[in-house]
Homo-oligomer: A and B are copies of this chain.
């Protein structure tokens, strides 16, 4: 029996605002950052292999220290606790952290404290996967339907999804698991790229990167919109000319509009290019009814959202209200793998496709495991699904994402993909950036 002996946090920030990487209509100057947590045990085998659980919350700069403070506030729940019972029952780990009534008051189940819980849960999943010698997606895809269901908190979901219904969905997908696992290892999971479309890039850079995306095998690119309508129209035309008729173009407003403005603006853009793949984050991520109104008005143009969807209760409502047609889960916005399993189960129940949000720092590395699990053991399909890809900052991770021919290569290294290189953590801790 081993025990948790340390929960170390680091305030890691990359000065991305200097290059306008990641610039959009709401976030002009992000410094991609990670509130990073490393959880260690006293197990001599873990120590011998330098094996620990790694997790993080992605932020865009200021406030990363607040996220670290929230991670620190969770430390007492782990220190001295026995490792094996907790890793064997990560549903219990969720309850330990999410159901702490005093900490829950800070959300409840949203924002800084909820994201910190997510990072700790993800670190525990990372440790569990490493001890099992499996990449997270494979660990998940080889768990029994009952074990998966036991990781999910169905509180507030039962009017839309019960544990029995979730079990049925997973059991129905069980037969083809081995085949799909082999297919995934062979061909990977479809990706799309946002690299060409940042608002801070000039037209020449947009066109060059859009053409590169096609040459690299991506079947979809994405443009940031919402700053200026004339600019958006011009950029959309340029992108369409650059990629040709067969590549999908999605657009992303990053919450820039009110409901009436979203409808009006998107009607203008749809007139320029009727084949827009989706409109992403047209308005507040909290506005279920607003998204539903936008989706009805713009039908059949799909509405996509999720990178700022704070918890499973919002996912439930967006699906109940037909307020989104593409669910964009994020690896570090909600309370970890557990809550993303809930969101994948909800999407499967409602028959909605999942195209995860990624980019930032380490989001590609982390979220790919969830889509791959979903393909092997739940939805059973990659049809019209793709994981976002941005080619930033992968070099700081021990097992960086590999994208080849427009597909995420299925990782085979054990763990959740969330471990940063120790030298990167040291080099980009906040004290150095601010100096």
Contacts and interface: CB of A to CB of B under 8 A. Distances in A.
Given A66-B73, A105-B59, A108-B308, A286 B313 contact: yes
Nearest to A284: B156
Contacts of A67: 106
Interface in A233-266: 255, 258-261
Given A69-B65, A113-B112, A259-B158, A60 B105 contact: yes
B109 A110 contact: no
Interface residues of A, number: 61
Of the listed residues A59, A61, A313, the one surrounded by the most CB atoms of chain B closer than 10 A to its CB is A313
Of the listed residues A26, A104, A284, the one surrounded by the most CB atoms of chain B closer than 10 A to its CB is A284
A213 to B, nearest CB: 26
Quickly give the copy total for this chain: 2
A65 to B, nearest CB: 7
A287 B69 contact: no
Interface stretch (A288-296, A387-395, A403-411): A288-296
Contacts of A100: 62
A30 interface: yes
Would you call the interface of chain A mostly helix, strand, loop, or mixed? loop
Contacts of A255: 108
Contacts of A156: 258-259, 283-284, 286-287, 290
Interface string A305-318: 00010110110110
A18 B73 CA distance: 22
Contacts of A111: 106-107, 110-114, 310
Given A111-B114, A113-B112, A260-B158, A102 B31 contact: yes
Contacts of A283: 156
Contacts of A314: 286
Interface string A69-88: 11001000000000000000
A155 interface: yes
B106 A112 contact: yes
A321 interface: yes
Contacts of A316: 287
A400 interface: no
A113 B66 contact: yes
Nearest to A156: B284
A351 interface: no
Given A63-B103, A289-B288, A110 B73 contact: no
Contacts of A107: 111
B101 A27 contact: yes
A320 interface: yes
A28 interface: yes
B113 A157 contact: no
A214 to B, nearest CB: 31
A306 to B, nearest CB: 13
A203 interface: no
Given A59-B102, A62-B102, A110-B286, 5 more contacts: A63-B103, A66-B112, A159-B260, A286-B310, A288-B317
22 contacts: A27-B101, A27-B105, A59-B102, A59-B105, A60-B101, A60-B102, A60-B105, A61-B105, A62-B102, A66-B113, A69-B69, A107-B111, A109-B284, A110-B111, A111-B114, A112-B112, A156-B258, A156-B286, A158-B258, A158-B261, A287-B317, A290-B313
